[in-house]
Every structure is written in C-alpha cells, then in structure tokens.
Amino acid sequence: MRVAVSSDERTGVADAVVEELRRRGHEPVAHGALADGDRPDWAWASEAAARDVADGRADQAVVCCWTGTGASIAANKVPGIRAALCADAQTADGARRWNDANVLALSLRTTSEAELKEILDAWFGGTPSQDDEDRANVAHLADIEHAH
C-alpha cells in the first residue's frame, strides 16, 4: 500500500513512522521535513500528504506535527479527507471502523515508538464498518463538504 507521510520536523517518531511503514511492506511517500526540498511547515506538509490520498496517489496517509492537532486540521481541509488524531490503538481502531478515517494524525511530542507500533497495528488492521448507521454518518461528511 502507498502511504503518504508528512512531518514538520524530524524529531520524535517522524523517522520511525517511515521506517515502520517500510518494515510492514508499505511504500512511504515522504513530504515536509521528511523530503528534501519540500516546505516543512505543518500546514503545507500535511496538505501535500492529504492531497496524495484525495487524488489517488496514495491509499492512506500519516501526518505528524508536535501535537498532531495542526496536522489533522490541515489534512481535514482537503476535500474527501477524514483525518483522525490518534494517541492510542483503541482510538485508531475506532477511527478506521466508525469514521472510515483515511489519514492518521500523530503527535511527535507524545507518541512513543511502542505506541506507534500499536497504533499502526490497529490502523492498518481495522476496516470500515458496514453498519448502515455508520455508513450514513460517513456519507453525511461528504454532504457537509459539498454544501459549501
């Protein structure tokens, strides 16, 4: 699976995300501080990774910044993106299941390498719910985007 990855700095788990994705057999597509010549700021880097997903150049994305909040906000501004800030495996599993999230946002400050592995296990092991109510909620997100 192609996974766009962005970070605004190379600290915390930024490099570990790329390494762990490769170890799992995914093809990381780097942005921001992880790619030579890219603008590293969180808004630009997260947008680039999210656009890879929205435009079909990547299947999923992982966006990182110091708290993860800015990265998730920037990614969510791209139409079709459902970014979720996840600090633990249970949140990542729920984001994939109930929200059909396609972009994982992580905090460089608080995510340990052990938590990173657990979060990625849950994220990539999770599948979107087929429950009618859950699907209706996800579909409504697209309606909200198109209403403006």
Q: Which residues are catalytic?
A: 65
CA 86 – CA 29 distance, rounded (Å): 20
The CA angle 14-79-132, to the nearest 5 degrees, is 100
22: its two tokens: 């490769």
CA 35 – CA 89 distance, rounded (Å): 27
The number of angstroms, rounded, from the C-alpha of 46 to the middle of its chain's C-alpha atoms is: 9
CA 110 – CA 98 distance, rounded (Å): 24
CA 64 – CA 52 distance, rounded (Å): 15
- 124: three-class secondary structure by DSSP: helix
